[in-house]
A and B are shown apart, each in its own frame.
Chain A
Amino acid sequence: MLALKNLDSGYKPLQILWDIELFLEKGEWLAILGSNGAGKSTLLKTVAGLLKPFQGEIWYERQEIGSLPVYERVKLGIALVPEGRRLFTGMTVRENLMMGAYRQNGNLRNTEQLEKVFDLFPHLTGRQKQVVGTLSGGEQQMCAIGRALMSRPKLLLIDELSLGLAPVVVEKIMETLVTIQKEGVTLVVVEQDVYTALVYADRGYVLQEGRIVKSGQAAQPLSDPDIQKGYLGGIVRGHPSAIHQ
């Protein structure tokens, strides 16, 4: 569904990503890992269209989209939940969600999708009329994901999901993402918390200094003792609900 070939990207004139090769099947859950500054956000931003690639190709459903502007990519079904959430701070939860459906025409579909989002995140229903600036971190994250879902994406990109959130909240949101994946949405999640990312994902890529240094099935790194020592702080004894079969 998504394939990146020889991708170079960054913030002109600073190059962050070097020769990225990546692929993603429809319906998969991909985890992108790496330490700070490795280029994870840059990668997602480039796929979403906020950054223009210096070089290389972005193939999405048999179409090369590297030169398409952001709003066109939304039309194609790509939605990004950006780092820091980037909600419309002066607007209410409901208004933010409705803005998410901007690309759609007509109102009927809007309310349908809105109901769906409230089903997924019941916590938001009560806070509809609240200005988003007053929500807690977890609620904001839910709102941001909800907003992205309003455009009925086929490919959902989430940047730094767990940043600043309590583990309980993160787990809750992850479970919701499992449900979303079941409905056919392809997911790419960028995460600093390696364990959580790998537990839920199907496959993963590791970025280091702008290059891909490791890739493979998610379960693999979890049982790889080097990774366990390097990133997970010691041998991991079994893992809980890595289930989404």
Chain B
Amino acid sequence: MQISRLNRGDGLRRAIFGLLCAGAALFLIFGPFFLSAYWLRILTQTFMFAVLAQAINIIAGYAGYPAFGNVVFFGLGAYATGVLVVKFNATFILSMMVGIGICLFFTLIFGLPVLRLRGHYFAIATLGLNEATKALTDNLTALTGGGMGLSLPLIPGDVETNSRFFYYMFLGTMALCLLVTHFLMRSRFGYAIRSIRSNERSAEGMGINTTRYKVLAWMVSAGFTSIAGSLYAYWMSHIEPAIVFDMAIAIKAFVMFLLGGAGTLLGPILGAFILETVSTFAWSHLLNYHLATLGVIIIIIVIFMPRGVVFFLQERFFLSSLVKKIREERTV
């Protein structure tokens, strides 16, 4: 891809970028030792959203299928954990595995018909799937506790240890998601996926089984979202359909993914951090105008950075090399 060809030349810039990343990673890893509980909680939530956003990136950014309703997997993961732990006394790990299993199954069953749709249609279909699942969960009161929700047993241990536990669990999940995405996208799978986004018909014409790859991509996406959901259930100890299937989560994650930069590796992570920071700031200082502020920030970002933060930064800092590359290509 053209962007990576640009980066090769700028040695110094890469070094700085690498240092920044390393610094950030160190900061996050050792965070719990010097940050307050308040900040830990915020960061934990940010990691969670980063996972959700990155999961969306896989199906929407790389494969080009905007899954608005991806939060359905979050809810399914949360409820899998909730129901299994509460009603069947299962262990957390088992419940998480089952959650992933359910989501994979869901992707397979619904993915085949729904992934035949393009763009808007697909987006709305996933929206519908989420809402339908939410409504169903609401109604199956015997199993799920219905609208009142489910309360999970609290984890033994003091508050501080627990908060650190979840901090690292979500950080780990985020890191894992990042790594998996990175290696997947460099593999044959990644090329297939990206070709689907560029021109699906051509991809098919070249012999790529687009249906298989689309479903697989959605499965990966669903899997990570499910993990986040399971962890969330355990973390919050109380879940309701209205919360874990909330479109607001879906949209928030989607916005983060887009703001950061669709189809880039770090974009969704960046988007998650930026939006969470703004959100927290707005919540604490401008409580009454919290939503409005968020709305305005989103509007501003779309107007000035219509392709997302990552592309914006790349164009800004690599502008000279970008222009040079285009000039070079023109005369060839």
Residues on A close to B: CB < 8 A?
A: 13-15
- A239 to B330 alpha-carbon distance, docked (Å): 39
A-chain residues with CB within 8 Å of residue B296 when the two chains form the complex: none
- A14 to B326 alpha-carbon distance, docked (Å): 8
Residues on B close to A: CB < 8 A?
A: 323, 326, 330
A-chain residues with CB within 8 Å of residue B326 when the two chains form the complex: 13-14
B-chain residues with CB within 8 Å of residue A13 when the two chains form the complex: 323, 326
- A15 to B327 alpha-carbon distance, docked (Å): 9
Determine how close the nearest CB of chain A comes to the CB of B323; give it in whole angstroms: 8
Chain A interface helix/strand/loop/mixed: strand
B-chain residues with CB within 8 Å of residue A15 when the two chains form the complex: 330
- A14 to B322 alpha-carbon distance, docked (Å): 12
Determine how close the nearest CB of chain A comes to the CB of B319; give it in whole angstroms: 11
A-B pairs with beta carbons under 8 Å apart, 5 shown:
A13-B323, A13-B326, A14-B326, A14-B330, A15-B330
Determine how close the nearest CB of chain B comes to the CB of A158; give it in whole angstroms: 28
Beta-carbon nearest neighbor of B323 in chain A: A13
A-chain residues with CB within 8 Å of residue B323 when the two chains form the complex: 13
**CB within 8 Å: A-B pair count:** 5
- A6 to B330 alpha-carbon distance, docked (Å): 19
Beta-carbon nearest neighbor of B331 in chain A: A209
- A240 to B330 alpha-carbon distance, docked (Å): 41
Task: Report, nearest first, the 5 A-B pairs whose CB atoms are least far apart.
Answer: A13-B326, A15-B330, A14-B326, A14-B330, A13-B323
Determine how close the nearest CB of chain B comes to the CB of A16; give it in whole angstroms: 10
- A15 to B329 alpha-carbon distance, docked (Å): 11
Beta-carbon nearest neighbor of B327 in chain A: A15
Determine how close the nearest CB of chain B comes to the CB of A54; give it in whole angstroms: 13
- A61 to B323 alpha-carbon distance, docked (Å): 36
B-chain residues with CB within 8 Å of residue A14 when the two chains form the complex: 326, 330
Determine how close the nearest CB of chain A comes to the CB of B6; give it in whole angstroms: 14
Determine how close the nearest CB of chain B comes to the CB of A39; give it in whole angstroms: 12
Determine how close the nearest CB of chain B comes to the CB of A10; give it in whole angstroms: 10
- A14 to B330 alpha-carbon distance, docked (Å): 8
- A212 to B257 alpha-carbon distance, docked (Å): 46
- A13 to B315 alpha-carbon distance, docked (Å): 12
Beta-carbon nearest neighbor of B326 in chain A: A13
Determine how close the nearest CB of chain A comes to the CB of B253; give it in whole angstroms: 31
- A15 to B330 alpha-carbon distance, docked (Å): 8
Beta-carbon nearest neighbor of A210 in chain B: B330
Beta-carbon nearest neighbor of B330 in chain A: A15
Determine how close the nearest CB of chain A comes to the CB of B307; give it in whole angstroms: 13
- A13 to B323 alpha-carbon distance, docked (Å): 9
- A124 to B326 alpha-carbon distance, docked (Å): 47
Beta-carbon nearest neighbor of A13 in chain B: B326
Beta-carbon nearest neighbor of B329 in chain A: A14
- A223 to B330 alpha-carbon distance, docked (Å): 34
Determine how close the nearest CB of chain A comes to the CB of B281; give it in whole angstroms: 35
- A15 to B331 alpha-carbon distance, docked (Å): 11
- A13 to B326 alpha-carbon distance, docked (Å): 8
- A49 to B35 alpha-carbon distance, docked (Å): 58
Beta-carbon nearest neighbor of A15 in chain B: B330
Determine how close the nearest CB of chain B comes to the CB of A12; give it in whole angstroms: 11
- A13 to B330 alpha-carbon distance, docked (Å): 11
Beta-carbon nearest neighbor of B322 in chain A: A13
- A111 to B326 alpha-carbon distance, docked (Å): 51
- A13 to B2 alpha-carbon distance, docked (Å): 14
- A140 to B210 alpha-carbon distance, docked (Å): 36
Determine how close the nearest CB of chain A comes to the CB of B326; give it in whole angstroms: 6
A-chain residues with CB within 8 Å of residue B330 when the two chains form the complex: 14-15
- A56 to B323 alpha-carbon distance, docked (Å): 21
Beta-carbon nearest neighbor of A16 in chain B: B330
